[in-house]
Amino acid sequence: MTKDDGIRDMLRGLPVFAGPLAEFDPKAAPAEPEELFVDWLGEAIEAGVHEPHAMTVATVDADGAPSARILILKDFTSEGWWFAGTTTSAKGRELAGNPRAALLFFWGAQGRQVRIRGSVELAGPRARAADFTARPLEGRVAGLHGRQSQPLADLADIHTTAEGSRARLEADPGLAPDNWGLYCLSATEVEFWQADPDRRHTRLRYRRAHAGSPWRSELLWP
């Protein structure tokens, strides 16, 4: 047996949909996906899912090449799903060039994923600064440099920069980097996926032409 065979066997031996899984009756689903998202998020929190507000955010670069990373969901309002990071990071540059993204929530213990697609808008300067200043001190210390996604010459630079940032924030707690970005994704497509131990998974997709138009939903083959 080669080393590769060992990895394949290990992977194929891992359980999936081990449960106990959540249940989902699409016939009882609300007319709008926002309500169902809030229900599922609440159930993930209640079930003790680790970081249930962490989501994969996928963007594309100027060549159409996709890129994905985990971000924290900062808010969910009638406008959409909010997240934050710097406007000069890879994701910030990609969103400036193509303001569309996909979000993915995976709540594995319940056998659930929610897939969201839509357009993204950058909030205005006051909302962006307010988002930064509302962060816990450690988050502000870590983010004040505004150099997210730039090459780092030496690990020690993180510590010296953090010490400098802490001193600046202690002197002026209202400081925020100019390139702090707060983004809102307005969805045109939201799909709820519920695993079934017998692999008869349930998929319910909502779509609408644009924000403000009515949602239509349909079941999909798993």
Ligand X SMILES: Cc1cc2nc3c(=O)[nH]c(=O)nc-3n(C[C@H](O)[C@H](O)[C@H](O)COP(=O)(O)O)c2cc1C
Note the residue count of the chain. 222
Of the candidate spans 34-42, 82-90, 117-125, 182-190, the one that interacts with ligand X by CB under 6 A turns out to be 82-90
Question: CA 10, CA 167: separation in Å to the nearest integer?
Answer: 49
Sign, Cα dihedral of 210, 216, 221, 222: positive
Kindly state the smallest distance separating residue 28's Cβ from ligand X, in Å: 32
Question: CA 176, CA 174: separation in Å to the nearest integer?
Answer: 7
Question: CA 213, CA 207: separation in Å to the nearest integer?
Answer: 10
Of the candidate spans 14-22, 31-39, 63-71, 165-173, the one that interacts with ligand X by CB under 6 A turns out to be 63-71
Question: What does R_g of the chain's alpha carbons equal in angstroms?
Answer: 20
Compose the 4-33 pattern: x for residues touching ligand X by CB under 6 A, - for all others: ------------------------------
Of the candidate spans 2-10, 28-36, 70-78, 127-135, the one that interacts with ligand X by CB under 6 A turns out to be 70-78
Kindly state the smallest distance separating residue 51's Cβ from ligand X, in Å: 5
Of the candidate spans 64-72, 117-125, 152-160, 166-174, the one that interacts with ligand X by CB under 6 A turns out to be 64-72
Establish if 160 lies at the interface with ligand X (CB under 6 A). Answer: no
Provide the 8-state DSSP code for 124: P
Asked if 55 contacts 73 with a C-beta cutoff of 8 angstroms, the reply is yes
Give strand ranges (E) for the chain. Answer: 54-60, 66-72, 75-77, 80-86, 100-107, 112-122, 180-194, 202-207, 216-220
Neighbours of 25 (CB within 10 A): 9
Kindly state the smallest distance separating residue 88's Cβ from ligand X, in Å: 9
Q: Which residues pair with 122 in a beta bridge?
A: 183
Among 87, 113, 148, 217, the residue binding ligand X under the rule CB under 6 A is 148
Among 98, 133, 149, 186, the residue binding ligand X under the rule CB under 6 A is 149
Establish if 60 lies at the interface with ligand X (CB under 6 A). Answer: no
Establish if 158 lies at the interface with ligand X (CB under 6 A). Answer: no
Establish if 95 lies at the interface with ligand X (CB under 6 A). Answer: no
Among 69, 203, 205, 207, the residue binding ligand X under the rule CB under 6 A is 69
Reference 76, options 107, 109, 116; nearest CA is 116
Among 7, 18, 38, 70, the residue binding ligand X under the rule CB under 6 A is 70
Kindly state the smallest distance separating residue 11's Cβ from ligand X, in Å: 22
Contact residues: ligand X, CB under 6 A: 51, 54, 67, 69-72, 84-85, 89-91, 148-149
